[in-house]
Structure 1
Amino acid sequence: MLAVNELFETIQGEGVFTGVAAIFLRLQGCPVGCPWCDTQHTWDKNNQAQVKPEQLIMKTGDSPSWAGMSEQAVLELIEQQGFTAKHVVITGGEPCMYDLNALTELLHETGYQTQIETSGTFEIKTSAQTWVTVSPKLDMPGGYEVRADAMARANEIKHPIAMQKHIDALDALLERCPVAAGTTICLQPISQRPRATELAIETCRKRNWRLSVQLHKYLAIE
């Protein structure tokens, strides 16, 4: 069973698929502990917060409530909502705490494409067709290490930065855990800070990397 925190349709605001209409499936649970995380309500999976699946759609704000759902139930809930997007983003929390093979295969069989957004600290269990975005979380309070197999599986590296030391840390990680040829590397300024944005732009120009600006935050949408 998957612990689902949220299911909604919006525009993807980050990374390679910025601007694409997307269905976001947010899963509950994450032990990584990123200090700047904007979904801290998904960290803990408390039994007292469990609700019925139909209550997820009625959410009007962030909350730690979650529903236990099978892969088929997730697909049925997507179809019941009449969403028109065909790009499903599986995020969290940390979605790779779950085996996502069955869910992603089911979604592909029914005409969807899938993307996973992960910290790279858990084994990635998903369909070979899934686009994997690794946002490597280094030296976080949870103490989890970024996995070499996660970096090797990534189609896209999306790295949040505020200072040069964050770029240096990414360089060291890429040296230690190489990515496949053709993997897109995106730099994402933390909290839209002007200096972080300037540094990201400058580095992307020099290295032919890609800028990710969290479009949804500039547009004030979910």
Structure 2
Amino acid sequence: MKEQIAQIEAGKALPLVEEFYTIQGEGFHTGKAAYFIRIGGCDIGCRWCDSKITWSAAMHGAKSIEDIVHKVLATPAKSVVVTGGEPTLYNLNPLTSLLKKHQVKTFLETSGAYDISGDWDWICLSPKTNKHPKLSSLSKANELKVIIYNFEEDIAWAELQARKVTNDCKLYLQPEWSRFKKNIDDIVNYVKTNPQWELSLQSHKFAGVP
């Protein structure tokens, strides 16, 4: 156990929940093939989280980054999405370095609540009110994706975060899946009135793919 903890702390292994090759369903890269690496451990605790299985890192065994990358390379994947959970709880420098060594692009999905390690081609930051994002994370975001559950509250939160990212950061509003019908019309109308924002849909759920 101590050895596993040491490996994780060094970034040489990660508490892996699942890994799979699929089509990206959300945000800027929607529709593109990518290999997903879902890492366990999250202390954000969103009530509508669709990946609560990731919250406890202890539930998931540590897997070496060499084994992870070996499986990536067994597919035609040209990019890897590292998600969670909250992946920035870990040292991701070794993983991204190894992926880059094999010319695989690296994409990160994070709440921005912690310092970001690793070498990333694209950072999607989805900030949560439960644990506010760090300014250093907001400044690195290529994409700001705000989940809309309670429309008025979450739109105000989205606009607050949009003022903190860089001018070239892409801005997305995404209806939370269980409240899609309740919120979609309001979100569409908001985007039409505020065209600096774009609509993100969880297209993989509509298509029935992972």
Whole-angstrom distance in 1 between the partners of 2:15 and 2:81: 15
Amino acid at match of 2:190: T
Deviation of 1:107 (Å): 0.9
After superposition, give the CA deviation of every residue in 1:109-148 in whole Å (9 maximum; x if it has no partner): 2021111100111111121x4310000011x2xxx22211
Normalising by the residue count of structure 1, what TM-score does the alignment of the two structures yield? 0.83
1:100 corresponds to which of 77, 92, 111? 92
Amino acid at match of 2:118: T
Which residue is equivalent to 1:77? 71
Q: Give the conservation status (yes or no) of the 8 Å contact 1:104–1:130.
A: no
Whole-angstrom distance in 2 between the partners of 1:199 and 1:85: 36
For 1:14-163, list aligned pairs within 5 A.
Answer: 14-46=26-58, 49=59, 66-79=60-73, 82-127=74-119, 129-138=120-129, 140=130, 144-162=131-149, 163=151
- Which 5+ residue runs of structure 1 have no aligned equivalent? 50-65
After superposition, give the CA deviation of every residue in 1:146-184 in whole Å (9 maximum; x if it has no partner): 211111110000101131221112222334xx1112100
Q: How many residues align?
A: 195
The reply on whether 1:184 has 2:178 as its aligned counterpart is: no
The reply on whether 1:173 has 2:165 as its aligned counterpart is: no
Whole-angstrom distance in 2 between the partners of 1:71 and 1:130: 19
Deviation of 1:105 (Å): 2.1
Deviation of 1:213 (Å): 0.6
Normalising by the residue count of structure 2, what TM-score does the alignment of the two structures yield? 0.87
Alignment partner of 2:182: what SS?
A: helix
Whole-angstrom distance in 2 between the partners of 1:164 and 1:188: 14
Alignment partner of 1:23: what SS?
A: strand
Q: Give the conservation status (yes or no) of the 8 Å contact 2:148–2:174.
A: yes
1:215 corresponds to which of 192, 198, 203? 203
Amino acid at match of 1:6: E
Q: Which stretch has the larger CA shift, 159-168 or 7-16?
A: 159-168
Alignment partner of 2:57: what SS?
A: coil
Deviation of 1:21 (Å): 0.6
Amino acid at match of 2:157: A
